[in-house]
A and B are shown apart, each in its own frame.
Chain A
Amino acid sequence: GAVVSQHPSRVICKSGTSVKIECRSLDFQATTMFWYRQFPKQSLMLMATSNEGSKATYEQGVEKDKFLINHASLTLSTLTVTSAHPEDSSFYICSATTPVAPYEQYFGPGTRLTVT
C-alpha cells in the first residue's frame, strides 16, 4: 500500500518556540492531506484540510495563526506550531489521499510533541 511518513517522530520544545512537522507521501502524489490531533485515549480530531497550492481549510475552533499549514508540493505538507505552549502537547497525525478512486486515506505514523 501507499506510504506516508512524518518527521520528526518525537519532538520536545520549550514554551514560546515554534516547531515544524513534515508529512510526506512517499510513493504517490497527494492533492489533499489532512492534519489530526489526538489526545490520550481519545479519537482523532481533524484540524485542517490541506490542498496543494492553496490555503488550508481549518476546522472550527482551530487557530490558523497558531497552526500554520503549508502544502508546497504534491508530496509534502508541513504543520508549524507557533509559539508553542504546554497545552499544545499532543500526538499529531497526518494523512494523505490518493488522487484517483477510491481516494483512500493513508496515515502517517504520528509525531509526539511535548512542550516544556
Chain B
Amino acid sequence: GNSVTQMEGPVTLSEEAFLTINCTYTATGYPSLFWYVQYPGEGLQLLLKATKADDKGSNKGFEATYRKETTSFHLEKGSVQVSDSAVYFCALSVETSGSRLTFGEGTQLTVNP
C-alpha cells in the first residue's frame, strides 16, 4: 500500500534558522509528491510538488527534491520566518484523474522571533 512518514514534531526554531522536515514514502506505482501547509484554523494550501524523480519543487523559499533512490521528499528552507509557523503535511498520489492523496501525520512548526 501507500504510506507517508514524516519526522515527528513539534519543531521549534528561531527566526532565520535553517529548516528541514523529513519525509519518506512507500508507494505502489510511480507517485507524485506534495507538501501542503495548514495555517491555524484554515484548510490546506499546496506549498510545492514534484512529479518525477530528481524534480525539485520550490515555493516561497521552501524546496524539496524527489529522491527515488531513498524514497524521500524532505522539505527545506534556508531562513525561516515567524510567518512560516504552521503545520506541514507531506503527501503522495499515485493515480491520475481524481487523484487520492495519502498524507503524512503532519509536523507542527513554530518559529520564534
Q: Interface of A with B (CB < 8 Å)?
A: 1, 4, 6, 31-32, 34, 41-44, 46, 49, 51, 93, 95, 97, 99, 101-110, 112
Q: Interface of B with A (CB < 8 Å)?
A: 32, 36, 41-46, 49, 51, 89, 96-101, 103-106, 108
Chain B residues with CB under 8 Å of A108's CB are 43
Report whether B98 and A110 are in contact in the complex, using a CB–CB cutoff of 8 Å. no
Chain A residues with CB under 8 Å of B96's CB are 101, 103
- Chain A nearest CB from B88 CB (Å) reads 11
Q: Which of A46, A107, A109 contacts B100 (CB 8 A)?
A: A46
Shortest Cβ distance from A106 into B: residue: B46
Chain A residues with CB under 8 Å of B103's CB are 43-44
The complex places the Cα of A112 from the Cα of B49 at a distance, in Å, of 28
Known: A49-B100, A97-B99, A102-B51. A43 touches B43 (CB 8 A): no
Known: A42-B105, A43-B103. A110 touches B97 (CB 8 A): no
The complex places the Cα of A51 from the Cα of B98 at a distance, in Å, of 9
Chain B residues with CB under 8 Å of A44's CB are 44, 89, 103
The SS class assigned to the B binding surface is loop
Chain B residues with CB under 8 Å of A93's CB are 43-44
- Chain B nearest CB from A28 CB (Å) reads 14
Chain A residues with CB under 8 Å of B104's CB are 43
The complex places the Cα of A24 from the Cα of B44 at a distance, in Å, of 15
Shortest Cβ distance from B105 into A: residue: A43
Report whether A31 and B98 are in contact in the complex, using a CB–CB cutoff of 8 Å. yes
Q: Which of A97, A101, A104 contacts B46 (CB 8 A)?
A: A104
